[in-house]
Amino acid sequence: MLKKAKGTVYDLGTGSGILSAWAAPNSSFVYAVEINKSIAEQARSNLKDFDNVEIIIADATKFSFSKKADVIICEMLDTALIDEEQVPVLNSVRKYLNDNGIIIPCGILNCIEPVQGDIENICYEEDGHPKNRVLGDPNFYSKINFKNHIEETFNESIEIKIKTLGIVSGFKITTFTLITEDIICGPTPMLNPPLIIPVERTKVYPNDIIYLNLYYKMGGGLESVRARIENIYREL
């Protein structure tokens, strides 16, 4: 894909520089931006063999780029972008993207499901823990296109259908990363592990419709998350 772009690349939050190393052979020039000085110096060492990469030690939200980008690489690594510091970065830098430019990844899809389990605190699901049983249909409640401004605050009522008798004790958010519109990456332990959000334990029956109010701030951290069951519609 970058071979087709063959232009200027921004790697925002370059870290060790691994994505810049991937982009450099297929690009005219790469601006690798990293706010942490010691990490940026490590990236400089890792990328020393590329003469078309410039390491910029700066806060990308405050940096003025001299040339527009054909490609922006902005790695997003948290479920629903809740604990993702790159959200305000991308919102600030997107103005420097050429009209026909692309962003990698290009977006995310968020899915939510009702679950039953011993869930006391908000947590990530890792290696099958905490154990939980899915009680209803998945609801793909949000799709975010990174080429558009990201509204950092999410606050909506979500309709969720129950399929199985049980006790709803929480809701599981799963995020799918759109590398491109045609390439979707599911969750992994390192990339967007599912997030379990507890709610007041509520008995449910098949065909119940739950109305869940879900609030969080992207980039605001897990402490910003609020969830409560507003209402349940039950067929008589």
Tokens encoding 199: 């709610």
For residue 54, pLDDT beyond 90: yes
* Overall average pLDDT of the 152-171 stretch: 97
CA distances from 224 to 122, 151, 189, 212, 218 (A): 11, 15, 22, 16, 9
- Residues whose CB is less than 8 angstroms from the CB of residue 65 and which lie 6 or more positions away in sequence, other chains included: 10, 31, 93, 96
Task: Assign 93 to helix, strand or coil.
Answer: helix
Confidence of residue 15 (pLDDT cuts 50, 70, 90): very high
**Domain limits, CATH 3.40.50.150, in the chain:** 2-75
Q: Average the pLDDT over 72-86 and give the result.
A: 90
Task: List the one residue out of 32, 8, 29 whose CA is nearest residue 19.
Answer: 32
CB-based contacts of 116, cutoff 8 Å, min separation 6:
132, 133, 135, 166, 167, 168, 169
List Cβ neighbours of 183 (8 Å cut-off, separation of 6 or more).
Answer: none
Span(s) in the chain for CATH 2.70.160.11: 108-233
pLDDT at 4 over 80: no
CATH homologous superfamily of 2-75 equals Vaccinia Virus protein VP39 (3.40.50.150)
Q: When comparing pLDDT for 188 and 210, which is higher?
A: 210
**What pLDDT score does 1 carry?**
42
pLDDT value of position 3: 44
The predicted structure's pLDDT at residue 235: 78
- C-beta of residue 187 within 8 angstroms of C-beta of residue 79: yes
* CATH superfamily placement of domain 108-233: Hnrnp arginine n-methyltransferase1 (2.70.160.11)
Half-sphere exposure of 49 (CA within 13 A, CB side): 5
Q: Structure tokens of 35?
A: 């706010």
